[in-house]
């Protein structure tokens, strides 16, 4: 079913002119760059540690004081910092997320977005729009996965960014869904088991399997064996495009399907369906795109998937249902999560 498209020709705020609205959008790049600089300089960490005045902060981050003040006041104008007295700063609740030592920190994501390699790919967005292919690959001569293997510093930035996002998403899933009826859960593409660790800690009846590529699973098993819940969890290696060799009550994937085109997604879901027990379920942590014309972070993340991977994408609820339908599954419900993503529950038809 196609969502009805409603015409819209006015800016978001009724008291804002179209010109001011457009300029605000264009200048949005500048605030993003200011956030990147703050993250790279570690400004939030220094303020949190008590270095709150401009001269001392400039010394701590090795910046020119007058230039630093210009950055700080720009951040304060967007609610990241608060100038509580002349040249004295404190963090807002939003600014706290630029610290590296707080739950839900997004500092590492900001540092990844500030990478020159990432920025160069986005400058070629028009290439992706014209061709449907990855701008990153066009600019750098290889896809993002191979580039990461060949450039460890970039790969480290990427992994840290994904970890920073995953922490808050994993906590939201643990809070939003009742896992009490599940005995064995498989985290498909579960990496080093961070989500599983969170779920096992909150659901003592639960047993878990972290399923990923063999070289990832080998390291994950080592990490599991060092944890107190090692008797309830194990890692299994394999290829989810070929087979998921674990029969379980439920299968969970977070930010997995958006990395793949429709054909691959159907293959992954079919493999879950073949492996699951009779009344099993599949849980998908993904963006579910909102109807036409609604503000939607997921629609911007969808452009990130286009730029970085080409055929990867975010999807609407109808598009998820179409994938599930081909895998003999039915979308049962969509649970919104606080940061804009959702948890989709699917069951056998």
Q: How far apart, in whole angstroms, are the C-alpha atoms of residue 220 and residue 199?
A: 16
Assess contact for 144 and 135: CB atoms under 8 A.
no
Separation in Å, CA 98 to CA 66, 81, 159, 197, 311: 22, 11, 17, 25, 31
Q: How far apart, in whole angstroms, are the C-alpha atoms of residue 214 and residue 237?
A: 4
| Catalytic site includes residue 78 | no
* Residue from 313, 339, 345 nearest 165 by CA: 339
Assess contact for 329 and 269: CB atoms under 8 A.
yes
Exactly one of 127, 140, 192, 258 is catalytic; name it: 258
Q: Which helix (H) or strand (E) holds 301?
A: helix 297-309
CB atoms within 10 A of CB 218: 12
CB atoms within 10 A of CB 175: 11
Residues designated catalytic: 258
């Amino acid at each position: 079913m196609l969502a009805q498209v409603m015409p819209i020709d006015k800016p978001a705020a009724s008291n804002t002119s179209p010109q001011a609205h457009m300029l605000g959008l264009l200048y949005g790049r500048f605030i993003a760059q200011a956030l990147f600089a703050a993250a790279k300089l570690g400004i939030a960490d220094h303020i949190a540690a008590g270095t709150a005045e401009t001269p001392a902060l400039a010394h701590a981050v090795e910046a020119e004081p007058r230039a630093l003040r210009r950055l700080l006041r720009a951040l304060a104008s967007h609610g990241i910092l608060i100038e509580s007295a002349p040249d004295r700063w404190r963090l807002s609740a939003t600014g706290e997320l630029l610290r590296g030592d707080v739950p839900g920190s997004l500092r590492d994501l900001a540092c990844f977005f500030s990478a020159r390699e990432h920025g160069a790919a986005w400058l070629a967005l028009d290439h992706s729009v014209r061709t449907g292919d990855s701008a990153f690959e066009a600019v750098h001569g290889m896809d993002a996965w191979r580039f990461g293997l060949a450039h460890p510093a970039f790969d480290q930035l990427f992994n840290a960014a994904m970890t920073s996002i995953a922490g808050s998403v994993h906590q939201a899933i643990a809070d939003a869904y009742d896992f009490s009826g599940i005995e064995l859960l498989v985290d498909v593409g579960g990496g080093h088991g961070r989500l599983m660790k969170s779920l096992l800690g909150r659901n003592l009846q639960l047993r878990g399997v972290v399923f990923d590529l063999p070289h990832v699973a080998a390291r994950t098993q080592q990490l599991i064996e060092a944890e107190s819940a090692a008797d309830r969890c194990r890692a299994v290696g394999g290829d989810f495009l070929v087979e998921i060799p674990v029969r379980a009550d439920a299968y969970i994937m977070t930010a997995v399907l958006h990395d793949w085109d429709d054909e691959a997604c159907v293959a992954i879901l079919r493999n879950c369906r073949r492996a699951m027990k009779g009344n099993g379920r599949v849980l998908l942590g993904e963006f579910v795109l909102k109807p036409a014309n609604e503000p939607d972070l997921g629609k911007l993340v969808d452009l990130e998937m286009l730029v970085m991977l080409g055929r990867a994408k975010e999807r609407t609820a109808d598009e998820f249902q179409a994938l599930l339908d081909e895998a003999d599954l039915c979308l049962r419900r969509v649970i919104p999560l606080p940061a804009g993503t959702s948890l989709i529950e699917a069951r056998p038809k």
